[in-house]
């Protein structure tokens, strides 16, 4: 079978003609031996890069002992990870699942349960334009992308949409509606094009205030922004607020699938056995991966590294690209950086392969950089040099072509 033969796979992805045999640190190695700088990190997943020795040793140890038992029993690794996440966030408890959409699905269900205890029978959750929360029916409905939703109607009831970073329209809803139970958003929108609020601290503070005044829940989807990526463990920590519900996944297991929904005390109080569950959720292997990720991240100050290297990368990009007319904006926080073009730039993903780079384009015009948090100065220099060459090709082929 040809290595790029996908005849037996459902046709859900457009893929680049490359596959990798192994990885080390910031680098992925293709089957022909050529190496690529991984500026995508499995879409903000490979927090520790590839084949991190301490991570591998810990996982090996866990696999030899125990991979899976059942949530019918106590699970030590799950308790440890929950305790760690609670201590980092000052929230109350954690529900474990296996992915970002599941973490958000649980967030939506818990919010509805909380609403039902308040006797709200037709609850609505305020969600944002250009948001991305996942592909299950509830999270797809919450997602602000008509293309992703098309063909899957009927969507769920109970969601209303406002623009991101727009407080007045939420204040208007608060004046006119009495069935709202929550606001759900990403503190920085990932798939939607690395959209950052004008002032993340003020935006979250305003949202918190509206939620408190109206007894709504503030749900933060930190699936992409979490685990040190923006320079804080969670992006909400750039502000002084604490959300009521927070979802995490992606980078939490450094590649081992895991999702987590963190809840505060008042949400914890409405949950009881039998209300929600997951066969795999929080199994010993996934939680060990989570515990190892957090330990290695803290021991090596990777959050701080994300902040420092992110600033450096953002500055270099701003300097190097400022004269290019087809670049609209460069933005982001920590190692979550978007370069917005004035034209479609999807082709950059495949063109980048010839320059030894793995990059991603989201929302058609935004190059998204979400590399592992271990990135160093040398790799940033390499990236800048190769990206410049890539843009030269892009100018020849697309801008002037
Ligand atoms: N929420 C956010 C903010 C995301 O970026 C994603 C994935 O890109 C998801 C949820 C869905 O996560 P998953 O693909 O693990 O279901």
Residue nearest to atom 13 of ligand 1 (CA): 100
Distance in Å, CA 108 to ligand 1 centroid = 14
Q: Residue 25: pLDDT above 90?
A: yes
Measuring CA to CA, which residue among 175, 178, 41 is closest to residue 120? 178
225 CB within 6 A, ligand 1: no
46 CB within 6 A, ligand 1: no
**Residue 137 pLDDT level (bands cut at 50, 70, 90):** very high
Atom of ligand 1 nearest to the CA of 102: 16
Atom of ligand 1 nearest to the CA of 191: 5
pLDDT digits (tens, 9 = 90+) for 232-267: 999 999 999 999 999 999 999 999 999 999 999 999
Q: Residue 169: pLDDT above 70?
A: yes
226 CB within 6 A, ligand 1: no
224 CB within 6 A, ligand 1: yes
Paired with 358 in beta bridges are: 38
pLDDT digits (tens, 9 = 90+) for 32-55: 899 999 999 999 999 999 999 999
42 CB within 6 A, ligand 1: no
Is 246 exposed, middle or buried, given 0-12, 13-18 or 19+ CB atoms closer than 10 A? buried
Distance in Å, CA 401 to ligand 1 centroid = 36
Q: What pLDDT, on the 0 to 100 scale, is given for residue 3?
A: 72
133 CB within 6 A, ligand 1: yes
Q: What is the pTM of this model?
A: 0.98
101 CB within 6 A, ligand 1: yes
Q: Residue 1: pLDDT above 70?
A: no
Q: Residue 342: pLDDT above 90?
A: yes
Residue nearest to atom 1 of ligand 1 (CA): 133
Structure tokens at 46: 């490979």
Q: What pLDDT, on the 0 to 100 scale, is given for residue 4?
A: 82
190 CB within 6 A, ligand 1: yes
pLDDT digits (tens, 9 = 90+) for 281-334: 999 999 999 999 999 999 999 999 999 999 999 999 999 998 999 999 999 999
99 CB within 6 A, ligand 1: yes
Structure tokens at 138: 């509830």
Distance in Å, CA 224 to ligand 1 centroid = 7
**Residue 400 pLDDT level (bands cut at 50, 70, 90):** confident
Average pLDDT, the chain: 97
pLDDT digits (tens, 9 = 90+) for 54-109: 999 999 999 999 999 999 999 999 999 999 999 999 999 999 999 999 999 999 99
Atom of ligand 1 nearest to the CA of 43: 8
Q: Residue 401: pLDDT above 90?
A: no
Task: Count other Cβ atoms within 10 Å, centred on residue 87.
Answer: 9
Distance in Å, CA 325 to ligand 1 centroid = 32
For residues 345-367, b (16+ Cβ closer than 10 Å) or e, as one string?
beebbebbbebbbbbbbbbebbb
Percent of the chain with pLDDT over 70: 99
Question: Is-contact 71 280, C-beta < 8 A?
Answer: no
- Contacts of residues 8-15 at CB distance under 8 Å and 24 or more positions apart, as own/partner, are none
């Amino acid at each position: 079978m040809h290595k790029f033969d996908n005849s037996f796979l459902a046709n859900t992805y457009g893929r680049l003609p490359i596959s990798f045999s192994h990885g080390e640190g910031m680098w992925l190695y293709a089957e022909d031996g050529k190496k690529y700088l991984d500026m995508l990190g499995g879409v903000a997943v490979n927090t520790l890069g590839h084949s991190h020795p301490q991570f591998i040793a810990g996982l090996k140890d866990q696999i030899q002992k125990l991979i899976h038992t059942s949530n019918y029993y106590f699970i030590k690794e799950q308790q440890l990870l929950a305790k760690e996440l609670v201590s980092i966030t000052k929230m109350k408890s954690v529900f474990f699942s296996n992915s970002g959409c599941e973490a958000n699905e649980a967030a939506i269900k818990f919010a509805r349960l909380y609403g039902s205890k308040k006797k709200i029978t037709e609850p609505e959750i305020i969600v944002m334009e250009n948001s991305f929360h996942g592909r299950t029916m509830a999270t797809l409905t919450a997602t602000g992308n008509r293309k992703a939703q098309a063909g899957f109607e009927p969507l769920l009831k109970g969601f209303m949409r406002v623009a991101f970073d727009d407080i007045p329209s939420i204040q208007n809803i608060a004046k006119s509606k009495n069935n709202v139970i929550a606001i759900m958003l990403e503190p920085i929108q990932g798939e939607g094009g690395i959209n950052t609020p004008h002032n993340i601290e003020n935006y979250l503070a305003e949202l918190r205030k509206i939620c408190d005044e109206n007894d709504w829940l503030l749900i933060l989807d930190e699936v992409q922004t979490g685990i040190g990526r923006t320079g804080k463990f969670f992006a909400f920590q750039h502000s002084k607020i604490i959300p009521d519900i927070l979802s995490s996944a992606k980078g939490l297991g450094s590649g081992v699938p895991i999702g987590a929904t963190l809840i505060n005390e008042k949400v914890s109080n409405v949950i009881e056995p039998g209300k929600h569950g997951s066969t795999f959720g929080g199994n010993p292997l996934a939680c060990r991966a989570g515990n190892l990720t957090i330990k290695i991240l803290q021991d090596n100050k990777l959050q701080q590294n994300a902040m420092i290297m992110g600033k450096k990368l953002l500055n270099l990009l701003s300097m190097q690209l400022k004269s290019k007319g087809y670049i609209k904006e460069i933005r982001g926080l920590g190692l979550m950086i978007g370069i917005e073009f004035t034209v479609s730039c999807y082709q950059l993903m495949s063109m980048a392969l010839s320059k030894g780079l793995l990059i991603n384009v989201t929302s058609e015009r935004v190059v998204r950089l979400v590399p592992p948090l271990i990135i160093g100065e040398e790799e940033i220099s390499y990236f800048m040099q190769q990206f410049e060459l890539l843009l030269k090709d892009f100018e020849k082929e697309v801008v002037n072509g």
